[in-house]
Amino acid sequence: MTIAMCHILIVLPFASLLLFLFLPFEQAILLYFLILLICALLYWLIWRDMRRPVTTGIEGMIGAVGQVIQNGKRTHKVFVKGEIWDAICDEALSVGESVEVIGLKRMELAVRKQLRRQNQATSG
């Protein structure tokens, strides 16, 4: 029977309390805090990694910015993340215009014109 690595990380601080039975108190406390520090570092790295945004699959395409390379009657060709996709849009698009991916419908990207944010800088 195998135990998953995540279960070992959860149990390790509690299992390390056995150090106090076999070692003098000064040595046991030093080793125990070292184990707690290592576990806390690993917990933090795992927590941070789980909070990263998705970068693959359909979820990774949402919000991506591409460029229109060809217009068609119903669909357009857009260049997004190094690939050429068929795209549908409710608005009129022109070649060279930037678009943002808002969804995927049957192997066609649903896109909209990218909103250009202009920085309002005040000069004094």
Tell me: the pLDDT tens digits for 86-104? 999 988 888 999 999 999 8
For residue 124, tell me if it sits in a domain. no
- On whether both 62 and 44 belong to a single domain, the answer is no
Q: Is the pLDDT of residue 26 over 50?
A: yes
- On whether both 92 and 70 belong to a single domain, the answer is yes
Looking at the structure of the chain, the number of domains it has is 2
Name the pTM for this structure: 0.56
| Mean pLDDT over the full length of the chain | 86
Q: Is the pLDDT of residue 10 over 90?
A: no
Instruction: Give CA 76 to chain center in angstroms.
Output: 28
For residue 123, tell me if it sits in a domain. no
For residue 87, tell me if it sits in a domain. yes
Q: Considering only CA atoms, which of 54, 63, 56, 53 is closest in space to residue 109?
A: 63
Its domain, for residue 39, covers 5-50
Q: Which of 14-23, 51-60, 104-113 has the lowest mean pLDDT?
A: 51-60
For residue 80, tell me if it sits in a domain. yes
Average pLDDT over residues 110-122: 65
